[in-house]
Amino acid sequence: MDPAHLRAEIKRLIVTELNLKGRDPDTIEDEAPLFGGDLGLDSLDALQLAMSIEERLGVRLPEGDEAREVFRSVRTIADHVAKVRTA
Amino acid sequence: MKPCLWVTGLGAVTPLGVGIEKTWSRLVRGDRAIRPLQLFDVSGQRSDLAAEVDGIVTPIHPPGAWSRTSAMAVAAVAEAMTMARLRAADAVVGLVVGGTTSGMFETEELLAQFHADPDGRDAPLAMLSHPITATGDRLDERLGPFARVRTLASACSSGANAIAVAAAWLLSGQVDAVVAGGSDGLCRLTFTGFNSLGAIDRVPCRPFDRRRRGTSLGEGAGFIVLERAEDAKVRGASPIAELAGWAMGSEAHHITDPDPHGEVVAKLIAEAIERAGVSPPQLDYVNAHGTGTPANDSMECAALKRALGRDLARIPVSSSKGQIGHTLGAAGGIEAVITALVVSRKTLVPTAGLDEPDPSIDLLHVPHVGREVARVRAALSNAFGFGGLATVLVFTPCETPVAPVSRVGARPAPSGSVSVVTGVSVVGSAGSMGAEGCADLLTARPIDDAAVDPDAHLDAARARRLDRTSKFAALAVEHALRDARATAEGSGVVLGSAFGAVDASAAFLYRVFQRGPRAASPSEFPNLVPSSAVGHVSIYLRMRGPAFVVADLAASADCAFAQAVELVEGAESARVVAVASEPGSDIVARVLSPLCSDAALHATAPSRSDLASAIAIETAAAARSRGARILAHVAQRLQWRGDGSNSSGALRPPMADRAEVVVARSSRAVDAFLARTGWGDQRRWSCADRLGENGVLGAVAIAVAAARVGTGRAPEALVVGLERGRGYAIVLAAA
């Protein structure tokens, strides 16, 4: 999956898994902060997103303090997924 | 002067041992019971640790009806009643049971099968242990008969919440003595759920420690016997401690995360202390909720600071969870037992595992081992649950026991506050309606079976975590409050639900069994806790009064109404909305209802559609002072265990020719009950005949009755809710 596709897939998961009804995945910016920004996500969303990324993309995301860096934005998640896959 | 409530009996089953003495000596010593779980397969879980109770023997009779939860409850209640030298037959004794898991461990593999094979029609007897009412029923059979039995759930505050409800029964004179507490057994659902939330530490949990990463789950049961001091003196019973204060409320903040500022919890602590007649300088110990999750412990410290101010610096605080784990619905009961013992034995229990106190949690800790102290003038016990549902209890030492007196203990006079219904609602296939619509719901034109889309009426962003039950409940409560022209803030909410989120639990478990624990959905899990709907409603509508679920099979809605009236008449909350909301459920319709309930026997037109109904209740004085329209006042209210033959005689006859009877469903039992009263010939309405069978019909019956009285269609109305071995009767009369 090329980087743009991967980011689009993550955006789609954000909308469907976190039940953001009416939100168009394409309107989520790659760099936009996932927490505290206009998406208004919280730690429970992070856990749900991590679970669904592991299920759909086969990559286990870090937990605890390490997770903070990875969950900054769609781009940081996608970069992490790509890195694990190529490792 | 308010009556003094004595704790005269204690009973506990904990991972440290069966019985309070074994538990107590090991607690004080600092022993820990958290180790790799043996009860079920934990491979693939983030942590394999839990605090298990060894050697629980579940009885064989009645077949399929027993769970580990119920077996632990019987052991704890038997111990508490033996200590109090109290038998159920000796007086009017009530029972209040808090819990969340009930027979989940025994039934979760069956649930996964039902999910996989929706056409299987067998209802295995083991499912009898599933409803959360099963524990109260087993206690009633073994140690009763109790005059009244209440089952409630408010997640991890259930046990403490049960004790607060029991105290209100005693103050209103409804019982002479009451046994209250909580029981919860470990199961795959909660173990997997808490692990999926990352809420379990990989080492035995370390409350207040800088390195804490979560809690450890546990199991057990803890119950206390409570009675009015003057009655206890007549019996010659010795007090262990006094339950001096309590407060219940909800944060209305988030389904899993506490409000970091602890604002509502601080308010509840202050209220409970004030009710106890003590002030922060007299408080000498806090048994914290202290789960060991980063968020809980920080919030609890903030709340204690806010409520107790500078006095907190000299008040020892400890959490028992590093030793017995978080026993969920039992925790409030077990920790009440522990706190009463701390008061009576002047010995503090420690926080185990606390090697490196978190510098941001600057409490006076009791690390590793307990110690004796000169005095404990008052002690606090905190219990918080998912959805921000919180209960705070305050225990104080008793005056020196006096010699038995021969005088018969006088029951306190009823508080004199009459409760009234100020708003009602029904939301479902018939639309969404208040009193005007409800008055003619059973008489008007045929109902078109168009599905209601709750999302069309809810704020999408704020409602995104609500399941269907919660959405319909939120709509019904909102409409009832609008009908009452009342605000949500400060109101409480009691939801009646017979079986909880059965289908969703079955789907969750099926997925975990098929694909392993890491496939468990962390955002789904909180919705499987029996009290989640009430948590969601309180958050969505910002209701900060008492919030919990009650269950009594097909009479759950009647039970919710009774509970809401009790909260209002006991001045626990200015206004409470009773609500029932049931999702259409295949497993309930096919398995649980036919097996556990008599209601299904009479179902003429089974319906699996979503339906919800709510009733807003407040005191007559409060309603008048805000100039509210009063639909009806609660003229009489009866609840019983057994076939109701004793209660039918107590029911007052109809005062007018046009008085009506509204029932959830017709049955021979209803005919027989009414025939024994003066109401047999009154005009009678059956909700099921009109709307099809549904678990919420008890609430619809009350809403319709109040609306018909309130709109002048009937001068008064009787609502009867009957279920196997239990029943409720309510007379609503024109204001």
Indicate the number of domains in chain A. Answer: 1
Give yes or no for residue B445 having a pLDDT over 80: no
What dotted CATH number matches B419-498+552-733?
3.40.47.10
Q: How many CB atoms neighbour CB B429 within 10 A?
A: 17
CB B385 within 8 A of CB B154: yes
For residues B649 and B633, what is the distance between their CA atoms, to the nearest angstrom?
A: 21
Cα B707 to the chain's mean position, in Å?
A: 28
| Per-residue pLDDT tens digits for B601-639 | 555 445 556 889 999 999 999 999 999 999 999 999 999
Q: Kindly list the residues from chain B whose CB atom is less than 8 angstroms away from the CB atom of residue A17.
A: 523
The number of residues in chain B equals: 735
- Of the candidates B427, B701, B439, the residue with the CA atom closest to the CA atom of residue B561: B701
Report chain A residues touching chain B, CB-CB < 8 A.
17-22, 40, 42-45, 47-48, 51, 54-55, 63-64
Q: CB within 8 A of B420, min separation 6: which ones?
A: B617, B618, B619, B620, B623, B630, B631, B632, B633, B634, B735
Backbone torsions φ then ψ of B337, nearest 5 degrees: -60, -50
- Three-class SS state of B261: coil
Q: Are A64 and B465 within 8 A, CB to CB?
A: no
Torsion (CA) B230, B235, B241, B244 in degrees, nearest 10: -30
Q: What is the DSSP string of B474-515?
A: HHHHHHHHHHTT--STT-EEEEE-SS-SHHHHHHHHHHHHHH
Q: For residue A24, with 0-12 CB atoms within 10 Å meaning exposed, 13-18 middle and 19 or more buried, which class applies?
A: exposed
Give yes or no for residue B414 having a pLDDT over 80: no
Nearest-Å Rg of the Cα atoms of chain B is: 24
Q: Kindly list the residues from chain B whose CB atom is less than 8 angstroms away from the CB atom of residue A51.
A: 196, 518-522
- Of the candidates B284, B334, B408, B423, the residue with the CA atom closest to the CA atom of residue B711: B423
What CATH number is associated with residue A65? 1.10.1200.10
SS3 content of chain B, % helix, strand, coil (to 5): 35, 25, 40
| Per-residue pLDDT tens digits for B170-200 | 998 889 999 999 999 999 999 999 999 999 9
Nearest-by-CA chain A residue for B518: A51
Give yes or no for residue B24 having a pLDDT over 60: yes
Report chain B residues touching chain A, CB-CB < 8 A.
46, 196-198, 213, 254-257, 455, 460-461, 464-465, 518-523, 526
Instruction: List the structure tokens of B644.
Output: 């109701």
Instruction: List the structure tokens of A23.
Output: 């939100």
For residues B304 and B542, what is the distance between their CA atoms, to the nearest angstrom?
A: 23
For residues B33 and B53, what is the distance between their CA atoms, to the nearest angstrom?
A: 9
Backbone torsions φ then ψ of B89, nearest 5 degrees: -75, -15
Tokens 């097909």 correspond to B554
B184 or B400, higher pLDDT: B184
For residues B495 and B533, what is the distance between their CA atoms, to the nearest angstrom?
A: 8
The number of residues in chain A equals: 87
**One-letter amino acid of A40:** G
Which pLDDT score, from 0 to 100, does residue B416 have? 54
Which pLDDT score, from 0 to 100, does residue B3 have? 81
Instruction: List the structure tokens of B42.
Output: 């934990």
| Per-residue pLDDT tens digits for B274-326 | 999 999 999 999 999 999 999 999 999 999 999 999 999 999 999 999 999 99
Domain boundaries, chain B: 5-396, 419-498+552-733
Interface test with A, best of B470, B523, B525, B532 (most A CBs within 10 A): B523
**One-letter amino acid of B469:** T
Q: Are A48 and B256 within 8 A, CB to CB?
A: no
Positions of B marked active-site: 156, 289, 326
Residue B434's Cβ-side half-sphere holds a number of Cα atoms within 13 Å equal to 16
CB-nearest partner of B464 from A20, A43, A47: A20
For residues B635 and B408, what is the distance between their CA atoms, to the nearest angstrom?
A: 29
For chain B, the farthest-separated pair of C-alpha atoms sits apart, in whole angstroms, at 74
Q: Are B522 and A47 within 8 A, CB to CB?
A: yes
Nearest-by-CA chain A residue for B460: A21
For residues B561 and B591, what is the distance between their CA atoms, to the nearest angstrom?
A: 26
Write the CA distances from B178 to A67, B159, B170, integer angstroms: 49, 14, 8
Q: For residue B444, with 0-12 CB atoms within 10 Å meaning exposed, 13-18 middle and 19 or more buried, which class applies?
A: exposed
Give yes or no for residue A35 having a pLDDT over 60: yes
Backbone torsions φ then ψ of B257, nearest 5 degrees: -100, 135
| Per-residue pLDDT tens digits for B463-484 | 999 999 999 999 999 999 999 9
Nearest-Å Rg of the Cα atoms of chain A is: 12
Q: Are A51 and B255 within 8 A, CB to CB?
A: no
pLDDT band at B585 (very low <50, low <70, confident <90, very high): confident
- Mean pLDDT value of segment B129-149: 96
For residues B87 and B96, what is the distance between their CA atoms, to the nearest angstrom?
A: 16
Q: Kindly list the residues from chain A whose CB atom is less than 8 angstroms away from the CB atom of residue B213.
A: 64
| Per-residue pLDDT tens digits for B672-705 | 999 999 999 999 999 988 888 888 999 999 999 9
- Mean pLDDT value of segment B521-545: 96
- Best CATH choice for the domain B5-396 from the list 3.50.50.100, 3.20.20.70, 3.20.20.30, 3.40.47.10: 3.40.47.10
- Of the candidates B177, B105, B97, the residue with the CA atom closest to the CA atom of residue B138: B97
Backbone torsions φ then ψ of B253, nearest 5 degrees: -120, -60
CB-nearest partner of A44 from B461, B518, B523: B523
Write the CA distances from B440 to B448, B615, B654, B711, B732, integer angstroms: 15, 16, 21, 10, 17
Q: CB within 8 A of B163, min separation 6: which ones?
A: B96, B180, B181, B224, B226, B243, B246, B332, B333, B336, B391, B393
| Domain span holding position A53 | 3-86
Which pLDDT score, from 0 to 100, does residue B450 have? 62
Torsion (CA) B77, B250, A41, B515 in degrees, nearest 10: 20
Q: Kindly list the residues from chain B whose CB atom is less than 8 angstroms away from the CB atom of residue A44.
A: 197, 254-257, 465, 522-523, 526
Give yes or no for residue B402 having a pLDDT over 70: no
Q: What is the DSSP string of B121-180?
A: ----GGGGG-STHHHHHHHHHHH---SEEEEEEBTBTHHHHHHHHHHHHHHTTS-SEEEE
For residues B49 and B277, what is the distance between their CA atoms, to the nearest angstrom?
A: 41
